[in-house]
Amino acid sequence: MKKNLAALLLLTILTFTFTLSGCTIEETSQKERPPSTAENQQSQNTAPTKASSTEAIEEKENQQRETSPAERPSQELTLHFIDVGQGDSILITTPNGSTLLIDAGPQSAGQKVVSYLKKAGITSIDKLISTHPHSDHIGGMQEVLAKFEIGQIYDPGHVHSTRTFEQYLETIDERNIPFIIAERGMTIDIDPQVAIEILHPPEPQESANNSSIALKLQYGQIAALLTGDGEKEAEEMMLQYAGSSVKSTILKAGHHGSNTSTIEPFLQAVNPEVAIIQVGVNNRYGHPHQEVLHRLTQKGIKIYRNDLHGDVVLTTDGHTYTVRTEKE
């Protein structure tokens, strides 16, 4: 019987809470655990045979736009930047019908995330990513964990002593959901046509924000870089690690558009056409910061914000993309 890593991490927190012995926390050997075959079946069922060329499949695009959301369009990848107020939550559906959810917003948005997913026809989540343990990212997880079957969870392994984080780990442990500590260089395989690589962190960092799991998703010629609340330090590490391959069509601006993120050299290397800022109306942090908005607009990057646009939905066939927003 394998021990669930969530339980180990929980134990680490509890030990930490009792001893409070400074900031060096011994990481128990947290290695990737292979997904159980049962968990995998779902994505395999719908997966097309081998990596088929994207060219062969993009013909019927126009008709597909008229299909109802419940019948998955077969060749589109969609990124939903769900308006959860001040916090992050991104739903990704891939051409073969697999689903990835990155963060679940604050606790107050848990129900919204669940109903959003249900409306999008989601019945189970293949991969759930908790970028980092701050409550504006994992607060809504309880609700999500209660309502959906989850294939696997990726977590940065950053130890955070809050009740929200403890509850999240307890639920994962109770439900025995496969739990993986994400490390840069790992890939997330949910669809043979979509490449997802983790670019950060190499290991949990001292700061929770800089421990954020960052990933690059590539579908045909379109790429998205999603960096959680990664700040300057995380961006510098990513640049050092991935160099020019951070380049992406779409950037989710780090840390809700705070000026601690989206630093000039990083933005220059990513060189996006579109930036998404997941931010709440009149949030008390003053996000997004003017400096960041200025850096983006100066480069002619189109900005979408949850506080202004509501839910932001980007759909791509691997060649081009369209953006739909809830509000104008």
Binding site for Zn ion (CB under 5 A): 134, 136, 209, 229
Shortest approach of Zn ion to residue 287 CB, angstroms? 9
Judged by beta carbon, residue 72 or residue 137, the one nearer Zn ion is 137
Judged by beta carbon, residue 83 or residue 136, the one nearer Zn ion is 136
Shortest approach of Zn ion to residue 261 CB, angstroms? 10
Distance CA 202, CA 237 (A): 9
Judged by beta carbon, residue 72 or residue 252, the one nearer Zn ion is 252
Classify residue 105 as left (phi > 0), alpha (psi -120 to 50) or beta.
left
Shortest approach of Zn ion to residue 93 CB, angstroms? 23
Does residue 95 have a cis bond before it (omega within 30 degrees)? no
Shortest approach of Zn ion to residue 135 CB, angstroms? 9
Beta strands in the chain (DSSP E): 77-81, 90-93, 99-102, 124-129, 149-155, 179-181, 194-200, 214-219, 222-226, 250-252, 274-277, 302-305, 312-316, 321-325
Q: Which residues, other chains included, contact 260 with Cβ-Cβ below 8 Å and sequence gap of 6+?
A: 209, 231, 232
Judged by beta carbon, residue 165 or residue 219, the one nearer Zn ion is 165
Distance CA 16, CA 22 (A): 9
* Structure letter (DSSP) for residue 133: S
Other beta carbons within 10 angstroms of residue 35's beta carbon come to: 17
Judged by beta carbon, residue 223 or residue 253, the one nearer Zn ion is 253
Q: Which residues, other chains included, contact 41 with Cβ-Cβ below 8 Å and sequence gap of 6+?
A: none
Distance CA 179, CA 17 (A): 22
Judged by beta carbon, residue 209 or residue 315, the one nearer Zn ion is 209
Shortest approach of Zn ion to residue 247 CB, angstroms? 24
Shortest approach of Zn ion to residue 198 CB, angstroms? 18
